[in-house]
Structure 1
Amino acid sequence: MALRKKKTVRAAAAQIAPDLDSEGGTLARVLETVHEAARRGVELIVFPETFVPYYPYFSFVQPPARQGADHLLLMQRAPTVPGPMTEAVAAAARQAGMVVVLGVNERDHGSLYNTQLVFDADGRLVLKRRKITPTYHERMVWGQGDGSGLKAVDTAVGRVGALACWEHYNPLARYALMADHEQIHCAQFPGSLVGPIFAEQMGVTIRHHALESGCFVINATGWLHDEQVRRLMPDEALQGALRGGCHSAIVSPEGKYLAEPLTEGEGLVVADLDLALIDKRKRMMDSVGHYARPELLSLAIRRDAAATTRPLAAGEPALLSDDIPLPPEAA
């Protein structure tokens, strides 16, 4: 396991607005931003949660009975993985020599998933993971993920892990990545949601993970322009639900901001990560090493991919689950 490939890494968190009007508009914004970041020497860039084609803001402000048309439109525009979208991002990552972490609405036949993709600097898709539990209103839109992607992966900039939004409030999910020795954690939130309290809580959350895991955290949130907010929610009394909640930031293993967090407008938060700070932090407190007590507390992880069918081996009895056999009359 290669735990360190570089001494410093220039990283960026992208806070930009999606294109709500066209199928490929947001992807075009992603590719433009990768090229812009490359001109600034960025080696790792993180985009917001389900940024392609856009986060399902409609599900937060509309009652279920009125979501049908918007939900169907999102399904029609959602990319498959792999597919033309991943090919385009892979080519941009390869051309820029950049690790790209992108959130997408992934379509898998008749279902949508909140999916995080990690492209290495050579363009290879090295991680595809689905948010394990959609949050609150999101359960009307996305299916549940599994543990197959709950891991860190080696990349050109080091060992990278990722979680989406309130997965950061699942301590066991975070611990799974900590135990897999992530050096750089990529967090993704929707942004332009809930209000200022969302951004405040986000700052606490990402700084705590940096301190507890002894890794860098890059957090990217999206942005909605005023016109987009008014379009998504014409009722002025409810537009506050689609404002605030932006906190794109980069945090060191010591819990310090390495650049001023971006809470309003579009832009890139850029900082240089000194990977020596990981050892400086873990020398004193390694949550999954000398500070752990595995004989008292440990985590069991099921990392196989979820499947609705599986073939039975010859002679294998039919099961309802892993340990409950069918009754004789139903076998």
Structure 2
Amino acid sequence: MNQNNLKVALAQIAPIWLNKFETLKLVKSKILEAAEQKCDLIVFGEGFAPGYPWWLSITHSAAWDNKIQKEIFAHYASNAIQIERGDLSEVQKIAKENRIAIYLGIIERPTDRGGHSLYCTLVYMDQTGEIKSVHRKLQPTYDERLVWSPGDGNGLQTHPLKDFTLGGLNCWENWMPMARTALYGLGENVHIAVWPGAVRNTENITRMIAQESRSYVISVSSLMSKTDFPKDTPHLDVILENCPDVLADGGSCIAGPDGKWIMEPQPLYEGLLIETLDFQRILEERQNFDPVGHYSRPDVLKLEVNRNRQYNVDYK
């Protein structure tokens, strides 16, 4: 096994929207497809299971005490992932059986915060199927705040895979320089950036982070069109009334440690996008710049990171 090469699959697909059981079946099928092609890692988009809250921007979601919004939210919450109750156990089993690592974006309804609020979470499973980090998005963006809760620093972790060190952030977290630095300080050299799906999000920042960090940057986006809303979606007529034909056009891509494209943003392509990364390219680019190594001044500038999981109640 060549430890210097990492074969990665970017899953640019649409979920079975707000149906966690069917979406997880789709996740498992794509993992098996990537494993058949001897991939070491597969990455899914932000909140992929069971899907991004697309209705927010097109249904007056900020209306106070609105029955329509409450009922759509309840449907969303009912289909959110509860890790503690084993919702991901079959995915873990497939990861172990096929020796493939996974970054999976989920909408999480964690019992450690009461079991009713939702978090945009990025889960990493290693090649033994063990969940190694559960990163809850630090700051939901704009209307996302109507359905997602702010996370904490517990999931700011990196993970070894072959010779590489992986870390990941959700969507606009990737614009937070201190969040990126927290991962750089842990040795990250493959940065995973997951998105709901838009070339406009990935076309600039992917290369910028690669140039800043001298790392590979893998941006993975989902797809979503007007025809992807299931017929049993609550208040589907309201959602479709002002819905554009395409809500998420993909844009998954990979930049190398020099900031140049390895895979340019791919709009509207549906399926797995596969590339192989060479570890030596990381070392080559670190020769002239390393943001937390030889090109840093910790005596002047230093970041403090709180990685404690946050709880409302401390039971003794």
Task: Tell me the TM-score normalised to structure 2 length.
Answer: 0.89
CA-to-partner distance for each residue in 1:68-116, whole Å, 9 max, x for gaps? 1111001111111133322111111112211100000111211111111
Equivalent residue in structure 1 for 2:120, among 114, 122, 125:
114
Q: Which residue of 2 aligns with 1:58?
A: 55
- Contact in 2 for aligned 1:164/1:187 (Cα 8 Å): yes
Q: Which residue of 2 aligns with 1:267?
A: 271
Q: Which residue of 1 aligns with 2:298?
A: 294
Q: Which residue of 2 aligns with 1:218?
A: 218
Name the CA distance, whole Å, in 2 between partners of 1:252 and 1:106.
Answer: 31
Change (3 A) 1:201 1:220: closer
Query: What aligned pairs does 1:178-193 form with structure 2 within 5 A after superposition?
Result: 178-191=184-197
- Contact in 2 for aligned 1:99/1:119 (Cα 8 Å): yes
Q: State the Cα distance separating 1:246 from its structure 2 match.
A: 2.1
Name the CA distance, whole Å, in 2 between partners of 1:82 and 1:186.
Answer: 24
Task: Tell me the TM-score normalised to structure 1 length.
Answer: 0.85
Q: State the Cα distance separating 1:245 from its structure 2 match.
A: 4.8
Q: State the Cα distance separating 1:260 from its structure 2 match.
A: 4.1
Change (3 A) 1:95 1:156: farther
Equivalent residue in structure 2 for 1:7, among 4, 8, 14:
4
Change (3 A) 1:23 1:161: closer
Q: State the Cα distance separating 1:157 from its structure 2 match.
A: 6.1
**Unaligned runs of at least 5 residues, structure 2:** 231-235
Equivalent residue in structure 2 for 1:239, among 240, 244, 260:
244
Q: Tell me whether 202-211 or 254-263 shows the greater mean CA deviation.
A: 254-263
Match of 2:84, SS state, is: coil
- Contact in 2 for aligned 1:99/1:156 (Cα 8 Å): no
Q: State the Cα distance separating 1:123 from its structure 2 match.
A: 0.6
> Which amino acid in 2 is paired with 1:32?
S
* 1:103 is the counterpart of 2:140: no
Query: What aligned pairs does 1:122-201 form with structure 2 within 5 A after superposition?
Result: 122-156=128-162, 158-191=164-197, 198-201=198-201
Q: Which residue of 2 aligns with 1:85?
A: 87
Q: Which residue of 1 aligns with 2:21?
A: 24
Q: State the Cα distance separating 1:219 from its structure 2 match.
A: 1.2
* 1:202 is the counterpart of 2:205: no
Name the CA distance, whole Å, in 2 between partners of 1:52 and 1:201.
Answer: 20
- Contact in 2 for aligned 1:12/1:218 (Cα 8 Å): no
Match of 1:17, SS state, is: coil
Higher strand share: 2
Q: State the Cα distance separating 1:256 from its structure 2 match.
A: 2.1
Name the CA distance, whole Å, in 1 between partners of 2:204 and 2:186.
Answer: 23
Match of 1:243, SS state, is: strand
Name the CA distance, whole Å, in 2 between partners of 1:39 and 1:173.
Answer: 34
Identity within the alignment, %? 31
Name the CA distance, whole Å, in 1 between partners of 2:308 and 2:29.
Answer: 36
Name the CA distance, whole Å, in 1 between partners of 2:81 and 2:59.
Answer: 24
Aligned length: 300
CA-to-partner distance for each residue in 1:148-188, whole Å, 9 max, x for gaps? 11121224563110100000111111111111111211111
Name the CA distance, whole Å, in 2 between partners of 1:60 and 1:6.
Answer: 45
* 1:306 is the counterpart of 2:303: no
- Contact in 1 for aligned 2:188/2:215 (Cα 8 Å): yes
Name the CA distance, whole Å, in 2 between partners of 1:23 and 1:217.
Answer: 28
Name the CA distance, whole Å, in 2 between partners of 1:298 and 1:115.
Answer: 27
> Which amino acid in 1 is paired with 2:305?
I
Supply the RMSD in Å over aligned alpha carbons: 2.0
- Contact in 2 for aligned 1:210/1:217 (Cα 8 Å): yes
Match of 1:269, SS state, is: strand
